[in-house]
Amino acid sequence: MREIETDYLVVGAGASGMAFVDALVTAADVDVVLVDRRHDPGGHWLNAYPFVRLHQPSANYGVNSRTLGHDQIDEAGLNAGFYERATAAEICAYFSRVLHEDLLPSGRVRFLGTTDYRGMDGDGHHLTSLLTGEETLVKVRRRFVDATYVESSIPSRHTPSFTVDPGVRLVPPNDLVDLDEPAGGFTVLGAGKTAMDTCNWLLDAGVDPEQIQWFRPRDPWLFDRRAMQPLDLVASYMRMQATWVAAAAQAEDGGDFARRLEADGIFLRIDAQEEPTMFRGATISSREIDALRTIDQVVRERRVLHIGTDRIVTDDGDLGAQRDQVYVDCTAPGVRATVPRPVFEGDRMTLQYVTIGIVPWSAATIGTVEARADDDAGKNRLCPPLTFTGQTADLLRISHAGMTGMAARASDADLNAWNEGSRLNPAAGAAQRLDDPQVQEAFAAVLTNLGPAMANLALRTGAEPLATA
Ligand SMILES: Cc1cc2nc3c(=O)[nH]c(=O)nc-3n(C[C@H](O)[C@H](O)[C@H](O)COP(=O)(O)OP(=O)(O)OC[C@H]3O[C@@H](n4cnc5c(N)ncnc54)[C@H](O)[C@@H]3O)c2cc1C
């Protein structure tokens, strides 16, 4: 068995692992071994459906040290007026260049692809090459870093919870671009952003809305993309922050909070008649929502158990099925629900959300905090995790953790300066635009409402002091 030694063993080379390693080696002179089952960095994007794009602008995605895309505002299509969003292919090429042109040449990062992390024992951490079977024992001088905790669950890699009869055409969205023959219609299964992307892509490709049936058991709250714009449009992001803090000062529960954000143009829902119970932090434009609303055949509050050639069995009775349907499985949850756990715990770290909805910003923040001289209690105070369960009801708890962390980091001069200069922070540069009345107004509103918001959130959530190692 081969033996190697390193300061940090990072398992997972998706956006989390890459943004963390980039920030860590920028701030500290350390040695890192980065491991992934996949052959290259990029994580789930390597297996994403071909028509996927980032939900958010490329301007704030990737690693801190290298831009993704050209920070341009799109002029045409569903994203017109908003900052460009990378495709999966662009994201994969980007992460590959970060690894091969920046991290590996630094001489401080080694990458072991197609390698499975198998756990640890008294000897050290065990890796197995998925190509050769070669085993490697890793001795870690500082920390083991779990960059798989918020790993994405995607349709092309998951096993659906329902069964299908032979002859039923069930595909992940990936296969829609490669059908052998035309479909009589499409049945889209799932309530998340992948299902929305799939419906929008079908509509955009010319499929009649009447040819689409959508099993959407629950509805989600979604960020309006208009409110998530950085750089020259950062006033929109600052307005979102101000609205968020004001709503947090008043809201009685997660549903009330979400409706306040909707009233102020921050949250969207697909169907005005349905109260959304899901929140996974996804972003969409009102143009996409308008297109989705043209689909009338929506089946609600039923979970599919089995698809036969002439009937669909659900947990609330059977429905008829057409033989020539293509069923599109969009039921993988994407962002996985997690249980609370501190980020810094002795010889272990767990990468997770410490900002609302943005994985790379969270991971880079953690990497930067890790490079500091603090003990674990101090680092955990700066990085309280936002534990996503996917439920609207959790919005107040998530907000409390997010605002607690932001306030703690803002009161630390070095960390605040790092955050202000980070391309991953959508609010970066806002403080230099105080001549814009909208930005000025947003800062003033945040200052006015922050205290009442923290008090209200603590009261409503019964927030405990945050666990530290
Ligand atoms: C369709 C889609 C669009 C999204 N859009 C956005 C967006 O616009 N903005 C945003 O912030 N987030 C978005 N997300 C959320 C997404 O989860 C994050 O952006 C991010 O890509 C997740 O990165 P990750 O590294 O945490 O997980 P992953 O990309 O899943 O990477 C985890 C890696 O860990 C590896 N791994 C797991 N177990 C082991 C093991 N035992 N040994 C070795 N390797 C292992 C896996 O092979 C994988 O490569 C989107 C998610 C989806 C599904």
Judge whether residue 266 has pLDDT over 90.
Answer: yes
CA-based nearest residue to 188, from 50, 325, 49: 325
- Whether pLDDT at 467 is above 50: no
Task: Report the pLDDT averaged over residues 70-78.
Answer: 93
Examine the pLDDT at 466 and tell me if it is beyond 90: no
Read off the tokens for 106.
């630094």
| Residue 163 Cα to ligand 1 middle (Å) | 26
CA 458 to chain centre: 25
Q: Is the pTM of this model over 0.85?
A: yes
pLDDT of residue 435: 94
Distance in Å, CA 42 to ligand 1 centroid: 7
For 316-365, the pLDDT digits (tens) are 999 999 889 999 999 997 777 788 899 999 999 999 999 987 899 999 99
* 138 closest CA partner among 7, 254, 285: 7
In DSSP terms, 325 is beta-bridged to 185
Q: Is the CB of 146 under 6 A from ligand 1?
A: no
Distance between CA 420 and CA 409 in Å, rounded?
11
Tell me: pLDDT of 250 over 70.
yes
Q: Residues 196-232: pLDDT tens digits?
A: 999 999 999 999 999 999 999 999 999 999 999 999 9
CA distance 77 to 277: 30
Residue 248 has pLDDT above 80, yes or no: yes
What is the reported pLDDT for 201?
97
What is the rounded CA–CA span in Å between residue 419 and residue 421? 5
Determine the pLDDT at residue 457. 95
In tens, the pLDDT along 363-404 reads: 999 999 999 989 999 999 999 999 888 899 999 999 999 999
Q: What is the pLDDT of residues 145-173, one digit of tens each?
A: 999 998 888 888 889 999 999 999 999 99
Higher pLDDT, 463 or 254: 254
- Of the candidates 225, 195, 231, the one whose C-alpha atom is nearest the C-alpha of residue 213 is 195
The tens digit of pLDDT for each residue in 11-20 reads 999 999 999 9
Q: Tell me what the mean pLDDT of segment 110-115 comes to.
A: 98
Residue nearest to atom 11 of ligand 1 (CA): 358
Q: What does the block give as tokens for 458? A: 């603590």
Other Cβ atoms closer than 10 A to 205: 10
Protein residue closest via CA to atom 48 of ligand 1: 43
Q: What tokens does 244 get?
A: 């968020």
Q: Is the CB of 117 under 6 A from ligand 1?
A: yes
Mind listing the pLDDT tens digit for each residue in 407-453?
999 999 999 999 999 999 999 999 999 999 999 999 999 999 999 99
Closest CA to 144 of 125, 127, 116: 125
Closest C-alpha among 277, 251, 247 to residue 264: 247
pLDDT digits (tens, 9 = 90+) for 122-141: 999 999 999 999 999 999 99
Q: How much is the pLDDT for 341? A: 92
Annotate the chain with three-state secondary structure: CEEEEEEEEEECCCHHHHHHHHHHHHHCCCCEEEECCCCCCCHHHHHCCCCCECCCCHHHCCCCCCCCCCCCECCCCCCCCCECCCEHHHHHHHHHHHHHHHHHHHCCEEEECCEEEEEEECCEEEEEECCCCCEEEEEEEEEEEECCCCCCECHHHCCCCCEECCCCEEECHHHHHHCCCCCCEEEEECCCHHHHHHHHHHHHCCCCHHHEEEECCCCEEEEEHHHHCCHHHHHHHHHHHHHHHHHHHHCCCHHHHHHHHHHCCCEECCCCCCCCCEEEEEEECHHHHHHHCCCCEEECCCCEEEECCCEEEEECEEEECCCCEEEEECCCCECCCCCCCCCEECCEEECCCCCCCCHHHHHHHHHHHHCCCCCHHHHHHHCCCCCCCCEHHHHHHHHHHHHHHHHHHHCCHHHHHHHHHCCCCCCCCHHHHCCCHHHHHHHHHHHHHHHHHHHHHHHHHCCCCCCCC
Q: What is the pLDDT of residue 93?
A: 98
Mutate to test the pocket of ligand 1, among 96, 150, 152, 194 (most ligand atoms within 8 A of CB): 152
Mutation pick for ligand 1 pocket among 111, 120, 151, 365 (CB with most ligand atoms within 8 Å): 151
| Binding site membership of 361 for ligand 1 (Cβ less than 6 Å) | no
Dihedral sign, CA of 54, 59, 62, 67?
A: positive
Q: Which atom of ligand 1 is nearest to the CA of 54?
A: 8
116: which strand partners?
128
**Amino acid making up residue 279:** F
Q: How far is the CA of 109 from the centre of ligand 1 (A)?
A: 20
Contact criterion met (CB below 8 Å) for 52 and 195 = no
Q: Predicted confidence band at 464 (pLDDT cuts at 50, 70, 90)?
A: low
Ligand 1 atom nearest 38 alpha carbon: 47
Rounded-to-integer distance, Cα 148 and Cα 326, Å: 32
Q: Find out whether 74 and 80 touch, Cβ atoms under 8 Å.
A: yes
Considering the chain, what is the average pLDDT of its residues?
94
CA distances from 401 to 103, 382, 465 (A): 32, 10, 10
The tokens describing 123, both together, are 């000897």
Q: pLDDT tens for residues 283-324?
A: 999 999 999 999 999 999 899 999 999 999 999 999 999 889
pLDDT of residue 290: 96
Q: What is the pLDDT of residue 421?
A: 96
